[in-house]
Chain A
């Protein structure tokens, strides 16, 4: 055993939750973001690698239609507003506003996923046509998996803030949920540039 401690550090009065980088959940979410950021980076690398293998890009057929992808990018960017407001409200324990803005986040998430469905149709290529089609579908597919899981996650959290037992930790969850959404938005931007403009520029 260690020698008898003469002093005691009494922690009974410190708080039992924390927001932001002080919380465990923030670091867990950050790790997940790094993991998924690496996944996206690897996919982008693969796209560029495959692009370098053929003289024309796309090898045949037209590039993806700009309309729906661009609409969706705008939807994603605007969705940061209700997310930011939900985070702000959560950090002030303002349940009414948390409910309001979480519901708004849900609406944006739903709209995004519906448009994403149309977006796949406007790619002008099938996943089994050639390697170009494959990598575009995989890229868009991986991102969609993220938005879809985050939508389900947000959905559960929204149900929770309306009907579940609330304590400080739920408000921390709302705050972290927003951070993860920012990640989904930011990681989309390079993919948007790649999918829609790489076939046009070169």
Chain B
């Protein structure tokens, strides 16, 4: 085709417009039934292990992310239990100092990098495409790759831990302790490389979510009609994109210092270990909000649903989340008050840290207003988890304001006061809402309800156990008990409160076991949920539970923020998407007018192979620097295989009945 002919073609193609019609025969029940059968076949993943590995369904990958993250949560919890056993008595010898170092480092690293961030992103992966009314997620193969990188990274960390090479310099791995001078063996390399795995995975998921939210919203869902959870995930994805590069750099430089003899953090040769702290916390503080903001989004959905009214102050909620994200990038130095920075800098970061209270408070007051005007409020288990936020998180927030003040911060730096604060913030601000959110969306994911009775028992046990474990830590910290010590002499008088904390940990264990039992039992014997068991307002409840592989047929459009509560508006349904390919409707960014149709790629084994190759390169490189060079060759080959297009793939009809063979999955 020559230039002028090409321009003609583009004009012709771009002239096609969507058409609105009434009484379209394609919306008749019989036709829709046939359409669904056809879509089932097109979007089906096939059976067998290969097909399972190759899956590109965001719901399957989201579920895997969730299950894997909770697997790591269990491991991290066991590590916490080991610490609590060790600290239950003074001068205990259950763990030796070296083991204790590894255990607390592994606990922090696992909970932050292998649980908290992946689990909130996983909720987004599962829910966002459904909430925006899309048939799939953007870049599904990348997403699959991101999942495998996450899994392999976690396996790598725990294998090294069981080989007595677990990282031991704390979850923020400060040099010089983690540097070549004092960090012996491969332990800190393992930590730094685990970070690489998780940041690859996190950045990929963030990109998929941003593009899905920007471009795959169903017609009518302009930005100001997006559910608040979707807004939260959008803000969080941007935070991931802006924050994670800082730790890409810091961990790469650490590994270079350790492996090829650079001096970035080496004071003696003009480097500076404080640079590590700046880079790490420029990532590390936003990380807290990355964990926390999705939980706020879940709170809004659940509180709105059980108050049976839209959340009060939609615009303020959105602006508050955005403001939290912005200010969250300007407070990192409050982690470094003990490093002796200039007074002026300290004052600035104190002010910024106190300012961040404002947007969070706005959201809290808006939720209170929502519940106050509920018609009427329903006290379900999911709601209780959200309500506990108001108690637990606010305590954590208050100690946070205290820690923002330099004098107090210096006094309790590196004590159990900080441990108490961060657990109140992270567990109160994220884990309670997350468990509530899981309770809320479990029926959508599985088609069955969880037991409210066991749920409430498990909630109250967690609430009591949590406060019993972590409240005494405030007092221990004020009495001067330093964090990260493997034991303490009995003359300090810390035994009683430590035993209280250990007892609390045991109660948390019971509550978590109950939660798990509830899930396992309900998977088989739970009450059938139906499409919308809670009477919620957002689009994920407009499809069956669990949703079909293609999410919606016909794809709905929306005319309000609460499409399921405003059915009298009856916006048009989408017809005319191709049934033989995995076509989605791409819309414009601001107002979500229909733009073009786009066939999503189907299942492929290449992302898995690329993840295997990348993992091989990462692991090799911490033992030999040339691993980067030679290891990148298989990565390149698998990526070429991945991106090389094939004609006629869309016609491949392995369908629901067939097994996907290796050759098919590589085509």
Interface residues of A (CB under 8 A from B): 1-18, 21-24, 27-28, 31-32, 34-36, 38-39, 41-43, 46, 49-50, 53-54, 59, 89, 91-97, 127-135, 137-138, 152, 156, 160, 164-165, 167, 169-170
A8-B269 in contact given A92-B7, A128-B263, A135-B264 (Cβ < 8 Å): no
Contacts of A8 in B (CB 8 A): 20-22, 24, 26-27, 554, 572-575
Q: Is the CB of A128 within 8 A of B260?
A: yes
Q: Is the CB of A22 within 8 A of B588?
A: yes
Q: Is the CB of B567 within 8 A of A2?
A: yes
Per the 8 Å Cβ criterion, residues 239-256 of B in contact with A are 241-242, 244-246, 248-249, 252-253, 256
Per-residue CB contact flags for chain B residues 571-587 toward chain A (1 = under 8 Å, else 0) read 11111110000010110
Per-residue CB contact flags for chain B residues 83-125 toward chain A (1 = under 8 Å, else 0) read 0000000000000000000000000000000000000000000
Q: Is the CB of B278 within 8 A of A10?
A: no
Q: Is the CB of B264 within 8 A of A138?
A: yes
What distance in Å separates the Cβ of A171 from its nearest Cβ neighbour in chain B? Answer: 9
**For the complex, is B462 an interface residue (Cβ under 8 Å from A)?**
no
Chain A binder among B357-365, B446-454, B500-508, B642-650: B642-650
**For the complex, is B604 an interface residue (Cβ under 8 Å from A)?**
no
**For the complex, is B17 an interface residue (Cβ under 8 Å from A)?**
yes
Q: Is the CB of A18 within 8 A of B595?
A: yes
Q: Is the CB of A94 within 8 A of B3?
A: yes
Q: Is the CB of B207 within 8 A of A31?
A: yes
Separation of A41 and B246 alpha carbons in the complex (Å): 9
Separation of A54 and B24 alpha carbons in the complex (Å): 75
Per the 8 Å Cβ criterion, residues 24-45 of B in contact with A are 24, 26-27
Q: Is the CB of A46 within 8 A of B249?
A: yes
A2-B556 in contact given A8-B575, A131-B264 (Cβ < 8 Å): yes
What distance in Å separates the Cβ of A89 from its nearest Cβ neighbour in chain B? Answer: 7
Q: Is the CB of B644 within 8 A of A164?
A: yes
**Chain B interface, DSSP helix/strand/loop, else mixed:** mixed
**For the complex, is B410 an interface residue (Cβ under 8 Å from A)?**
no
What distance in Å separates the Cβ of A99 from its nearest Cβ neighbour in chain B? Answer: 12
What distance in Å separates the Cβ of B171 from its nearest Cβ neighbour in chain A? Answer: 20
- Which of these, B242, B246, B270, B583, contacts A131 with CB under 8 Å? B270
Contacts of B375 in A (CB 8 A): none
Task: Assign chain B's interface to a size class.
Answer: 35 or more
Q: Is the CB of A14 within 8 A of B596?
A: yes
Q: Is the CB of B270 within 8 A of A138?
A: no
Q: Is the CB of B645 within 8 A of A5?
A: no
Q: Is the CB of B207 within 8 A of A32?
A: yes
Per the 8 Å Cβ criterion, residues 212-231 of B in contact with A are 214-216, 219
Separation of A167 and B26 alpha carbons in the complex (Å): 30
Chain A binder among B8-16, B305-313, B422-430: B8-16
Separation of A146 and B25 alpha carbons in the complex (Å): 53
Contacts of A134 in B (CB 8 A): 253, 256-257, 262-264, 271
Q: Is the CB of A160 within 8 A of B270?
A: no
Separation of A9 and B218 alpha carbons in the complex (Å): 11
Q: Is the CB of A13 within 8 A of B19?
A: yes
Separation of A46 and B10 alpha carbons in the complex (Å): 47
Which residue of B is nearest A128, CB measured? B261
A24-B138 in contact given A3-B567, A10-B575, A14-B17 (Cβ < 8 Å): yes
Q: Is the CB of A93 within 8 A of B270?
A: no
Which residue of A is nearest B138, CB measured? A24
**For the complex, is B433 an interface residue (Cβ under 8 Å from A)?**
no
Separation of A10 and B573 alpha carbons in the complex (Å): 8
Which residue of A is nearest B215, CB measured? A24
Per the 8 Å Cβ criterion, residues 561-575 of B in contact with A are 563-564, 567-568, 570-575
Q: Is the CB of A138 within 8 A of B599?
A: no
Contacts of B10 in A (CB 8 A): 91-93
**For the complex, is B75 an interface residue (Cβ under 8 Å from A)?**
no
**For the complex, is B272 an interface residue (Cβ under 8 Å from A)?**
yes
- Which of these, A35, A46, A91, contacts B264 with CB under 8 Å? A46
Q: Is the CB of A9 within 8 A of B264?
A: no
A97-B263 in contact given A49-B272, A138-B256 (Cβ < 8 Å): no
Separation of A59 and B599 alpha carbons in the complex (Å): 56
Per-residue CB contact flags for chain B residues 361-398 toward chain A (1 = under 8 Å, else 0) read 00000000000000000000000000000000000000
Contacts A42-B249, A95-B1, A127-B256 known; 7 new A-B pairs at CB < 8 A: A5-B556, A8-B575, A27-B211, A28-B138, A35-B207, A92-B6, A134-B257
9 nearest A-B residue pairs (beta carbon): A12-B576, A93-B6, A8-B24, A92-B6, A134-B262, A7-B572, A38-B245, A131-B270, A131-B271
What distance in Å separates the Cβ of B18 from its nearest Cβ neighbour in chain A? Answer: 5
Q: Is the CB of B270 within 8 A of A130?
A: yes
What distance in Å separates the Cβ of A58 from its nearest Cβ neighbour in chain B? Answer: 10
- Which of these, A1, A17, A18, A50, contacts B271 with CB under 8 Å? A50
**For the complex, is B487 an interface residue (Cβ under 8 Å from A)?**
no
Contacts of A95 in B (CB 8 A): 1
Q: Is the CB of A14 within 8 A of B22?
A: no
Which residue of B is nearest A56, CB measured? B270
Per-residue CB contact flags for chain B residues 426-462 toward chain A (1 = under 8 Å, else 0) read 0000000000000000000000000000000000000
**For the complex, is B159 an interface residue (Cβ under 8 Å from A)?**
no
Contacts of B596 in A (CB 8 A): 14-18, 22
Which residue of B is nearest A51, CB measured? B270
Which residue of A is nearest B208, CB measured? A28
14 pairs, A vs B, C-beta closer than 8 Å: A2-B564, A5-B554, A7-B22, A7-B570, A14-B595, A15-B596, A16-B596, A24-B138, A31-B241, A34-B241, A36-B245, A46-B249, A131-B272, A165-B647
**For the complex, is B657 an interface residue (Cβ under 8 Å from A)?**
no
Contacts of B18 in A (CB 8 A): 9-11, 13-14
Separation of A43 and B257 alpha carbons in the complex (Å): 15
Q: Is the CB of B242 within 8 A of A34?
A: yes
Q: Is the CB of A28 within 8 A of B139?
A: yes
Separation of A138 and B257 alpha carbons in the complex (Å): 11
**For the complex, is B414 an interface residue (Cβ under 8 Å from A)?**
no
Q: Is the CB of B575 within 8 A of A43?
A: no
**For the complex, is B557 an interface residue (Cβ under 8 Å from A)?**
yes
Per-residue CB contact flags for chain B residues 181-210 toward chain A (1 = under 8 Å, else 0) read 000000000000000000000010011001
Contacts of A167 in B (CB 8 A): 645
Separation of A42 and B6 alpha carbons in the complex (Å): 43
Which residue of B is nearest A3, CB measured? B567
Separation of A138 and B18 alpha carbons in the complex (Å): 51
Contacts of B282 in A (CB 8 A): 42
What distance in Å separates the Cβ of A192 from its nearest Cβ neighbour in chain B? Answer: 19
What distance in Å separates the Cβ of B330 from its nearest Cβ neighbour in chain A? Answer: 14
Separation of A94 and B257 alpha carbons in the complex (Å): 49
Separation of A86 and B394 alpha carbons in the complex (Å): 57
Separation of A133 and B272 alpha carbons in the complex (Å): 14
Contacts of B542 in A (CB 8 A): 1-2
Q: Is the CB of A53 within 8 A of B270?
A: yes
Contacts of B207 in A (CB 8 A): 28, 31-32, 35
Separation of A98 and B91 alpha carbons in the complex (Å): 74
**For the complex, is B499 an interface residue (Cβ under 8 Å from A)?**
no
